[in-house]
Amino acid sequence: MESDDTTSLEATNPSTNITADEIDEETAKKLRGDAIGNTMYSEVFVLNTLIQFSDLKWSEEVENNLCFLWDMTEDTDVCKYLFQASYPKLACSAIDNYTEPRFIEIVVGIFANLLCSKCEKNVTEEEIKTVLNLLSSNDPYILIQVMRFIHAASFLVDKWEFFEEEHLDRFDFILASSTNKELLAIALKALVSITEGMKIKVDILKGGLLGAVVAGYRTLRDDCEDFEVFEVRERHANVKHLISFLCNLCGYVDVLNRNELAGEVSPLLPEFTNEVALLLHCYVNEDNLLPMDDEFRFYMEGLTYIYRVLKVGYLSAVARDVYAIFAIIYNKDRANLDVVAELFCYFMAVGDLKSFQDDFENVSPDEVKEILSYLEKRNFQFEFVYIDKLRAILNEL
């Protein structure tokens, strides 16, 4: 009888457990409640947090809620929802109305995250200008988020006609005087992004800005004088930004024929060259040079462009290591010789026999002849003439 009763119960009371794929879309929405997209984050929480922008009463609870919202913006669905909720407009209104530093920092930090997200973005020039005005702040934490915002916004707007001289002056001041390394690193990155592709007006550019850029970079590298300064990827990023900035300035000179800008840059080139020499000297060590990486390729291309556009004369401090690097690659990695050939030939073109002999002194005369004969046969076509100088040097050796 027990067995029969059990069988009867099983037949009339089937299991009520259901699997996720058996739930229809309407039921799924009810179960998720007010979740944003496919997340478990609450729409009500976000709206309640944003409502406080209209009548801010700063407290630890408000700060915690905003910080949580900031963390939430790592999720694309949340970013999409915040754009739908007009976050840029609300944020800019709050920036204009309140002065609480931590509040401003978080609000701009969230805004920067939105611009970095992989969702459709909508931001106006007026909103960007509102954040740019915060460059006048002396709070390094606010400035870090402003720089993050500028870098992200630079990919959304091709021409920054609204970027004024006073904004650039603040970059100059920050890079020249700040000791906050996080701020310096992101300021350098932001400056590169807004000068790339000639985004900002040439009329507000000053070649003297290179001095501040070099000063900021020096603070970042800790005055190290060996390869340790380039062992960490972030430090490679810093030197790439240093070279990129001067490449960008050279773009204005090259494309717009702004020779007066080149004249302003020239007096500061020795400071830049000191940093370049320190960088290149690291690569004279074969273990640091090979196998060749993308960073090294970028350095060679960038430096060649800078020196060619600015018509820089012979730089023994740089040429010496370029020659040594070239010899290593010639003997150990000839397939990549083209990477260094243009810079090598440039210094040969602007130098003289004595300079060349002095700076190639660590390579045997026979090897020097072999290398130059190889270059003569290759007959690279560059935007400067070098082959006659090469042959003249060969004849004198």
What pLDDT is recorded for position 223? 54
Instruction: Mark whether 140 and 231 lie in a shared domain.
Output: no
- Residues 227, 366: Cα–Cα separation, whole Å: 31
250 in the same domain as 236: yes
pLDDT at 23 over 50: no
**202 φ, ψ (degrees, to nearest 5):** -65, -30
Beta bridge partners of 35: 42
CATH number where 52 lies: 1.25.10.10
Q: Is residue 297 part of a domain?
A: no
Render 113-170 in DSSP notation, one character per residue: HHHHSSS-----HHHHHHHHGGGG---HHHHHHHHHHHHHHTTT-S-BTT--HHHHHH
The fraction of the chain above a pLDDT of 90, given in percent, is 82
pLDDT band at 60 (very low <50, low <70, confident <90, very high): very high
H or E element at residue 43? helix 43-51
Q: Mean pLDDT over residues 183-187, rounded?
A: 97
Is pLDDT at 227 greater than 60 in this prediction? no
323 and 345 belong to one structural domain: yes
Percent of the chain whose predicted confidence (pLDDT) is above 70: 88
Number of domains in the chain: 3
Q: Residue 232 falls within a domain, yes or no? A: yes
- Output the CA–CA distances (angstroms, integers) from residue 205 to 167, 168, 264, 303, in the order listed: 11, 8, 10, 21
Residue 131 confidence class, pLDDT cut points 50, 70, 90: very high
Say whether pLDDT at 352 is over 50: yes
Please state, in angstroms and rounded to a whole number, the distance separating the CA atoms of residues 268 and 266.
5
Residue-level pLDDT at 4: 44
How far is 74 from 147, CA to CA, in rounded Å?
18
Segments forming the whole domain that contains residue 44: 33-156
| Confidence category of residue 9, pLDDT binned at 50, 70, 90 | very low
Instruction: Please tell me which residue, 10 or 263, carries the higher pLDDT value.
Output: 263
Same domain, 216 and 234: yes
Same domain, 146 and 172: no
Q: Which amino acid is at 58?
A: W
- pLDDT category at 27 given cuts 50, 70, 90 is very low
The rounded mean pLDDT for the chain is 90
So what's the pLDDT on residue 396?
85
Q: Is it the case that residue 233 has pLDDT exceeding 80?
A: no
Residue 34 banded pLDDT, cuts 50, 70, 90 = confident
Minimum mean pLDDT range among 82-91, 304-313, 356-365: 356-365
Check whether the bond before 140 is cis (ω within 30° of 0).
no
**CA dihedral of 336, 338, 344, 348, whole degrees rounded to 10:** 140
pLDDT at 363: 84
**Averaged pLDDT, 21-31:** 48
Whether pLDDT at 3 is above 70:
no
193 and 214 both lie in a single domain: yes
Examine the pLDDT at 8 and tell me if it is beyond 80.
Answer: no
Please tell me whether residues 150 and 59 are part of one structural domain. yes
DSSP per residue over 305-368, as a string? HHHHHTT----HHHHHHHHHHHHHHHHH-GGGTHHHHHHHHHHHHHS-HHHHHHHTTTS-HHHH
**Mean pLDDT, residues 89-96 taken together:** 97
> Taking residues 384-397, what's their average pLDDT?
91
